[in-house]
A and B are shown apart, each in its own frame.
Chain A
Amino acid sequence: MSTPTLEGHIVTDSALRELADDPSSRKRFLKMLGGAGAVSAFGVVLAACGDDSTAAKGTAASSSSSSDNAGDLKIVNYALTLEYIEAEFYKQVGESGLIKDKAVLEIAKKFGESEQEHVDGLKAAAKALGGTPVAAPKTNFEPTLKKGLKHVLETAATVENLGAAAYLGQAAKIKSKEILASALQIHSVEARHAAALNILVGRGFGDGKGGLKGALPDGPFGKPLDMKTVLAAAKPFLA
C-alpha cells in the first residue's frame, strides 16, 4: 500500500478557504469564557511550569471553589505555554520560506492561525478564572529550521501529538465545566493537526516502522502524558 505524500493527496485551496473563515466555534468559545468570567473574584497567579502534584485526581464534577480555580488556572497556563510554543513555531516556519508546496503551506498557515486562536482563548480563560496569563516563553527553533522541510514537518507532527497527549493528561483534573469544555474543544483540534501532519510526513497509521509512529500512534485510544513529561519534551524548543 502507499500512503499519501506531501506531493499528492492533500487539501485543496478552495476546500480550505471554504472552511477557514467559519468564526462560529470561536465565537461560542469566547462567549463561554465570558460566562466563566463570573466564576470567581479570586486573583490567583501561578507559574505555568511547576509540577502537577497539587492538581489532585478527583471527581470530574466538583463544584467550583478557589482551590478548584487555582488548579484550573495552573492547567490553563500550562496549556497556554504549549500553545505559545506551537504558534511561534508555525509563525517561524511560515517566515522561513521552507514550504514551497502551496497546499502544505495553506495547512501550515491554517494550523498556525488556530494555535494563535488557542493562545488568545487560553489567555481569556486565565483571566476568566481571575488569574494572570503566563508570558510567552523564549523559544529557539533555529536548530530545527536548519535541518530542512522534512525535519520541520516531522517536528510539527511531534509537537502536535505532544499537545494532544498533554490536553488528554489534564482533562480529568479540570474542575470547571466551562474550562473542561474549552480544553476539549482544543484537544480534538490538536489531535486533528497531529493526524494530518503524521499523514503528510508519511507516517501512515498503525504502529508505524522505523521508529516513526503513525497517525494513530496509540491505536484505538489516545494516551495521556503528564505535565512533567510534556514540559521535558518541549524543553529543546526553549531558548
Chain B
Amino acid sequence: MASSQLVAGELAAIEIQGTTRQAFLLRATLAAGATVGAMSATPLISKVLAADGGGDVDILNYALTLEYLESDFYTRAAKQVKGLSSYEQKLTAELRDNELAHVDALVATIKKLGGKPVAKPKFAYGNTFGSRAAYFKLANTLEDTGVSAYNGAAGGIDSADVLAAAGGIVQVEARHAAMIRLVRGKAPAPVAFDPLSDMETVLAAVKPLIAS
C-alpha cells in the first residue's frame, strides 16, 4: 500500500511502507529539527547515527543509546538510592543486570553486522536518586519510553533476525515497566495497546538526562 494512505503525524513511526530505512531515519532527523526547535534532538541523533555501519546498525545504535541510559541509571540507583525494601533492592539489581545484558547483546549484534557501536554518553539525573519515589518515577518513565521506542522502531528493521532479537528485548522492557509500575501502585498495563514512539520523540525526551 502507499504510505499516503496512512494517517500522518501520530503514525510517523510506522509510516515507512515503500521507503528505505535511510529515508525513515532521515525523516526522523528532519522532523526533530523542524518540530522540537530549541529542544532539538538533532545533535543527539547525529551522534547516535555517527557510527553508522549500514543495514540495521542505525536502529541498533539508537537502541544501544537507550540501553546505555537504562543500565547506567540502575547501576547508579543500586548504589545511591536509600530506603529501598529488600524486594526493591533485588528488583533494582535484576533490572540493572538485564539492561547490561541488553547493552552487551546490542554491541555484539552491531559488530556482527559490521557496524561500530556508538560510544556510551555521560548521563546526569539531577536529584533523582535522592528519594525512592523520584527514582521509581523516572524508572517508570524510562521503561515505558523504552517499550514505545522499540515498538516504534521495529518497522524500520530490515533483518528478521534483528527484529526477533529486538522483540526479545522489548518483551523484557515491558515486563520491567509492569514491575516498576506495581511498585509505584500504578496499573501495570494501563492501556490495551502500548503506544509507538518515533526516534526524534524518544531522543528529545531523554536528552535532558544526557550530560555529554
Q: What is the CA–CA distance of A229 and B110 in the complex, to the nearest angstrom?
A: 31
- Contact between A221 and B187, CB atoms less than 8 A apart: no
B175 at the interface (CB under 8 A from A): yes
Chain B minimum-CB-distance residue to A186: B193
Interface string of A99-119 (1 = CB under 8 A from B): 000000001001101110110
- Contact between A59 and B160, CB atoms less than 8 A apart: yes
A222 at the interface (CB under 8 A from B): yes
Is chain A's interface secondary structure helix, strand, loop, or mixed overall? helix
- Given A1-B87, A15-B185, A172-B161, A177-B16 contact (CB < 8 Å): yes
Shortest CB-to-CB span from A121 to chain B, Å, is 7
* A20: chain B residues within 8 A (beta carbon): 187, 190
Chain B minimum-CB-distance residue to A184: B151
- Contact between A19 and B190, CB atoms less than 8 A apart: yes
A230 at the interface (CB under 8 A from B): no
Among B1, B162, B173, chain A packs the most CB atoms within 10 A around the CB of B1
* A222: chain B residues within 8 A (beta carbon): 167-172, 175
- Contact between A224 and B87, CB atoms less than 8 A apart: no
- Given A28-B193, A223-B168, A59-B158 contact (CB < 8 Å): yes
* B190: chain A residues within 8 A (beta carbon): 19-20, 22
Interface string of A5-23 (1 = CB under 8 A from B): 0000111100110111010
- Contact between A19 and B178, CB atoms less than 8 A apart: no
Number of interface residues of B (CB under 8 A): 69
Number of interface residues of A (CB under 8 A): 76
Chain A minimum-CB-distance residue to B180: A195
Is chain B's interface secondary structure helix, strand, loop, or mixed overall? helix
B174 at the interface (CB under 8 A from A): yes
- Contact between B10 and A28, CB atoms less than 8 A apart: yes
Chain A minimum-CB-distance residue to B154: A184
Shortest CB-to-CB span from B176 to chain A, Å, is 8
Chain A minimum-CB-distance residue to B155: A177
Shortest CB-to-CB span from A158 to chain B, Å, is 15
Q: What is the CA–CA distance of A219 and B167 in the complex, to the nearest angstrom?
A: 14
A36 at the interface (CB under 8 A from B): yes
Shortest CB-to-CB span from A221 to chain B, Å, is 4
* A117: chain B residues within 8 A (beta carbon): 192-193
B34 at the interface (CB under 8 A from A): no
Interface string of B90-127 (1 = CB under 8 A from A): 11001001110110010000000000000000000000
Which residues of B are in contact with A by a Cβ distance under 8 Å?
1, 5-7, 10-11, 13-14, 16-18, 21, 85-87, 89-91, 94, 97-99, 101-102, 105, 147, 150-152, 154-155, 157-165, 167-179, 181-196
Q: A11-B185, A184-B154 are in contact. List 7 more A-B contacts (CB 8 A).
A: A16-B187, A171-B163, A184-B194, A187-B170, A189-B193, A205-B91, A221-B168
